[in-house]
Amino acid sequence: MPNNGTIIKVSGPLVVARGLDGTRIYDMVRVGRYKLFGEVVEIRGEEYFIQVYEETEGLGPGEPVYPTGSAFSVEVGPGLIGAIYDGIQRPLDTINRLHGNYIVRGIEQPPLDRKKKWHFYPLKNIGDDVVPGDVIGYVQESKLVRHMIMVPVNVKGRLSIIEEKDGTIEDIIAIVETDTGTKELTMLQRRPVRNPQKVNKKQQTTVPLVTGQRIIDTFFPITKGGVACIPGPFGSGKTVIQHQLSRWADADIIVYVGCGERGNEMTEVLIDFPVLKDPKTGEPLMERTVLIANTSNMPVAAREASIFTGITIAEYYRDMGYSVALMADSTSRWGEAMREMSGRLEEMPGEEGFPTYLSSRLAGFYERAGNVICLGSDERQGSLSVIGAVSPPGGDFSEPVTQSTLRVVKAFWGLDDRLASQRQFPAINWLASYSLYQDVVDEYAIANIHKDWKAYRVKAMGILQKESELEELVRLVGIDSLSPKDRLLMDVARMIREDFLYQNAYDLRDTYTSLRKQFLMLAVIIGFYDKANELLQSNVELGMILSISSLSDIAQMRFIPEESLGEFDKLETKMMRELVALTSK
């Protein structure tokens, strides 16, 4: 066991100590008379630089530092689902119940309930050989989640005991005979947060992560195991989009990390999620959600801890074979914490004062996403999708955190405060955003939704881009100077923006749209555009085309329920009948 140390300097969240002989980099320590949580982030000779995850007010030189001899780790096991943790995995709901509304410095509370009993169902038999990552049984953690109990990464051998039983997470459920002796297995494991968990193989992502948000799924999609970022200025809707994705994304497990966000936004999450219903099952959304709350008034160093705590828990459920989506809101606050700690460590600053390792640290986080074949079985596959919000000051996308993030993500959903001020939700700028998953999703949609998916998407995006080019001309000389064909294009572009891209998050009929309905909505608009162009060539006046009654039905088509998609056939038939009738007039 390493030696106890002594504080020699305190600088905000940074504490310098001596005498911690035997302590390694990234080991956890307890600091001062309050035994605050800290992590060794740098060692210079005999001086140990400690990043403290709690308020250091009142600490001073001469106070003791107690080493733990282990790296910063999180507890994983039954009981994670529905829990609310702070950045260092202290259960906030339990602390609130036992100690009141405020977190006392140095307070220690087990992340998982040691007294609750779970019913363990074995899936292996005595005498079976097991390897790291093998599933030996399960417990029903919630109504929506079957929690797989896996063999730890350092255990390999033959089961000598395994039994179905009711027990706590610390009770022995199986014993493995290994080459070096016996190993007792429980439902509880500890996983270090700094390094990604081992997998058998990472593979190409081929299935879209359906979010129900039309501008994302149709124009800028993400796949299961993909990575995306949502940069945008204050008030442009980053948090609202992440709330929507948490509610509606086609993922089995949601891990939501509020990293340095305003307290009222996290409060909204904590109040809404327990009462929201899962769209697939009708059960409360918290039955498949883990929340990590690290608000802006909490210690700045804990922002980094919250990010790594969240992704380690997400990896744990991915290893069970689940599709997991991690929402990080926002990584800019994490970058600011890195900048503050780097300054206190007197490191050489990089661009805009951020540390020179900003890019590598962000890349290391996002690269932990992916679609994988899990340890233990080639048949068990899981995915971890990471969606991070970025809050560039003043909406400047050229700042270091945004640029470093863009180097590693494949989907960029750039928010525009101008669109937000026009009440266009989601306020994703369709001319500035992109997705490198587009070809994969197009291939999936052509095979599973409709053969014309890609053709209609490309045509709709071309209309929006042409509208942007014509807007400058319209501002100079007015819309009446345009040809009828260009005026028709401007009207159809408005239909795409207002009737397709705009989505009301508070209307249950419009807040979620399946891929099938998205295609049908776009097909109606493109069908109108193609037929109207034919009529213009037949000398039908544009005013007559734009006066048909079906256009009001198109404006309301987003309210057609998912179970009544046959209404789109009626709408298209009515629209075509009215357009064809114009030729006789």
pLDDT tens figures, 82-106: 999 988 899 988 888 888 777 778 8
Token look-up 């709690």 returns 54
CA–CA dist 388, 314 (Å, integer):
14
Lowest mean pLDDT among 207-221, 261-275, 362-376, 538-552: 261-275
Question: What pTM, to 2 d.p., does this model score?
Answer: 0.94
Which residues contact residue 315 at a Cβ distance below 8 angstroms, ignoring those fewer than 6 apart?
191, 196, 197, 324, 368, 384
pLDDT mean over 26-49: 93
Average pLDDT (100-125) is 89
- ∠ CA 154-159-162, nearest 5°, is 110
Provide the pLDDT for residue 441. Answer: 96
Region 365-391: what's the mean pLDDT?
93
- Asked if residues 436 and 411 have their Cβ atoms less than 8 Å apart, the reply is yes
Residue 418: CATH number of its domain:
3.40.50.300
Q: DSSP letter string over 339-398? A: HHHHHHTTPPB-GGG-BTTHHHHHHHHHTT-EEEEPTT-TT-EEEEEEEEEE--GGG-TT
Is residue 118 situated within a structural domain?
A: yes
Q: Is residue 441 part of a domain?
A: no
Note whether 179 and 206 are same-domain residues: no
For 104-113, 254-263, 275-284, 452-461, which range has the lowest pLDDT when averaged over its residues?
275-284
C-alpha pair distances (Å), 308 with each of 200, 257, 304: 22, 10, 7
Residue 97 lies in a domain: no
225 lies in the same domain as 120 = no
- Within 13 Å and on the Cβ side, how many CA atoms surround 314? 32
Question: Of 71, 90, 125, which residue constitutes the final position of a domain?
Answer: 71
pLDDT at 383 over 80: yes
What was the pLDDT predicted at 130?
94
Helix axes 453-477, 438-448, angle to 10 degrees: 120
192 forms beta bridges with 73
Strand ranges (DSSP E) for 123-180?
Answer: 129-130, 135-140, 146-150, 157-162, 165-167, 174-178
Look at the block and give the residue holding tokens 């397709």. Answer: 500
Query: Would you say residue 572 has pLDDT above 70?
Result: yes
Residue 461 lies inside a defined structural domain of this protein: yes
Chain mean pLDDT for the chain: 91
Rounded mean pLDDT of 206-231?
Answer: 95
CA distance 257 to 239: 11
On whether both 225 and 365 belong to a single domain, the answer is yes
Give yes or no: residues 161 and 267 share one domain.
Answer: no
Per-residue pLDDT at 527: 95
User: Residue range 480-492: average pLDDT?
Assistant: 90
Strand-strand pairing, 118-122 and 135-140: antiparallel
Residues 131-171 pLDDT 10s: 999 999 999 999 899 999 999 988 999 999 999 999 999 99
- Identify each DSSP E strand in 186-288 by its residue range: 189-192, 201-203, 227-231, 253-261
Q: Is the dihedral of CA 191, 193, 195, 201 positive or negative?
A: positive
Are the C-beta atoms of residues 425 and 240 closer than 8 Å to each other? yes
Q: Rounded mean pLDDT of 522-527?
A: 96
**CA distance linking residue 438 with residue 454, whole number of Å:** 9
Per-residue model confidence as pLDDT tens digits over 398-424: 999 999 999 999 999 999 988 888 888
Say how far apart CA 119 and CA 354 lie, in whole Å.
49
494 token code pair: 């408005």
Provide the pLDDT confidence category of residue 1 given band limits of 50, 70 and 90.
low
Which of 187, 210, 244 finishes a domain?
A: 187
**Residue 67 within any structural domain of the chain:** yes
Backbone phi, then psi, for 327, in 5-degree steps?
-105, 120
Query: Is residue 421 located within the same domain as residue 502?
Result: no
Q: What residue ranges in 14-55 does DSSP mark as E strands?
A: 14-18, 27-31, 36-44, 47-52
One domain, residues 389 and 538: no
- For residue 92, the model assigns a pLDDT of 87
Q: What is the CA radius of gyration of the chain?
A: 27
Chain centroid, CA 28 distance in Å: 27
Residue 585's pLDDT band (cuts 50, 70, 90): low
Average pLDDT rounded to a whole number, residues 221-237: 91
Residue 91 included in any domain: no
Confirm whether 84 is domain-assigned.
no
Check pLDDT > 80 for residue 269: no
Residue 408 sits in the same domain as residue 283: yes
For range 14-35, the mean pLDDT: 93
Judge if 302 and 342 occupy the same domain: yes
Tell me if 149 sits within 8 A of 187, measured CB to CB.
Answer: yes
Same domain for 493 and 371, yes or no, is: no
Same domain, 480 and 551: yes
Q: Please report, rounded to a whole number, the percentage of residues in the chain having pLDDT higher than 70.
A: 100
- The CA-based angle 45-47-52, given to 5 degrees, is 140
Q: Residue 51 maps to which CATH number? A: 2.40.30.20
Is the same domain home to 430 and 386? yes
Given 165, 187, 209, the domain boundary residue is 187
pLDDT of residue 423: 82
- Structural element, H or E, at residue 404: helix 400-406
In a domain, 154, yes or no: yes
Are the C-beta atoms of 253 and 238 separated by less than 8 Å?
Answer: no
Q: What is the mean pLDDT of residues 221-249?
A: 90
**CA 53 to the chain's CA centroid:** 23
Which of 87, 27, 96 minimizes the C-alpha distance to 53?
87
415: which DSSP letter? B
Can you give the residue range of the structural domain that contains 250? 201-434
Q: How many domains does the chain have?
A: 4
The CA-atom distances, in angstroms, between 28 and each of 47, 52, 69, 190 are 15, 10, 7, 14
Phi, psi at 17, each rounded to 5°: -135, 160
Same domain, 252 and 169: no
The DSSP call for residue 562 is G
Q: What CATH number corresponds to the domain at position 122?
A: 2.40.50.100
- As a whole number of angstroms, the distance between CA 520 and CA 507 comes to 19
Question: What average pLDDT does this structure show over 425-434?
Answer: 92
- Distance CA(509)–CA(288), nearest Å, equals 23
State the CATH number of the domain containing residue 567.
1.10.1140.10
What is the Cα 260 distance to its own chain's centre?
15
Interatomic CA distance for residues 53 and 521, integer angstroms: 50
